[in-house]
Amino acid sequence: MKIYAMHIKSSALDPSVLHTLLTILPLERQKKVARYSNRADQVRTLIADVFVRDLIRQTLHIPFEQIGISTNEYGKPFVTNDSMNGFSFNLSHSGEWIFVGTFHDSIGVDVQQCKKIQLRLADRFFSAEEQKQLLLQPENHQEAIFFRYWACKESYIKYVGKGISYKLSSFTIQLGSSSDIHEVHENGRDTGIRCREYQVDPGYKMAVCAKSISFPEHPIVINCEKWLVELGKRIENNE
């Protein structure tokens, strides 16, 4: 398992570089990026997509145009190249961070930028146990705990790969006080799936979900500008 966290500032990126990245993507992905009206959303989506494809390209040693990525009926992406059997990935982006996970089995990742939130949302999306635990926290900590739950729950939904058809309130994240790795329970039973939280930026919550008890201690933090330079060199040298 490998976990990557990339910090980006969309306003600092050269438009010509972004145009070059856009040409790397298949036409349907280019259209998806173009549909975003907000430039920051466009940049996050574009860079996250190209970064994942760059990881795949370096693994398979093939050009970008030969990479096959599709989605299941619920929108979870997967690699279609036969030689990538046993390779799964998932990605998420929020604010100034892109979060990516790769594994030999299903994986889900999520990053949430912490903002002002209506805590009553927990009534709709959290299990009864999660709601109880949230309310037991000091009032000034509840917002941070809410986003911890939210990131973990979203990562589990993405691990399962059934999108919004899978009710967020149908399972419980057992947030531990002394560990960053948490059990996921459904119908009162441990599913065997684990969520691992990562602390990279105090303004964000990040979580990874997989059927594993062995997670990287820290994500690999990628400097976006440096990666763009290295990517340009690899493309130029056909590496």
Q: Which domains does the chain have, with CATH numbers?
A: 2-236 (3.90.470.20)
Per-residue pLDDT tens over the stretch 156-194:
999 999 887 888 999 999 987 668 999 999 998 999 999
Report pLDDT for 11.
Answer: 63
Q: How confident is the model at residue 206 (pLDDT cuts 50, 70, 90)?
A: very high
Quote the tokens at residue 102: 């790769």
Per-residue pLDDT tens over the stretch 107-124:
999 999 999 888 989 999
Report pLDDT for 82.
Answer: 80
Quote the tokens at residue 132: 């109880």
DSSP H or E segment with residue 70: strand 69-71
Report pLDDT for 81.
Answer: 85
Quote the tokens at residue 210: 């997989």
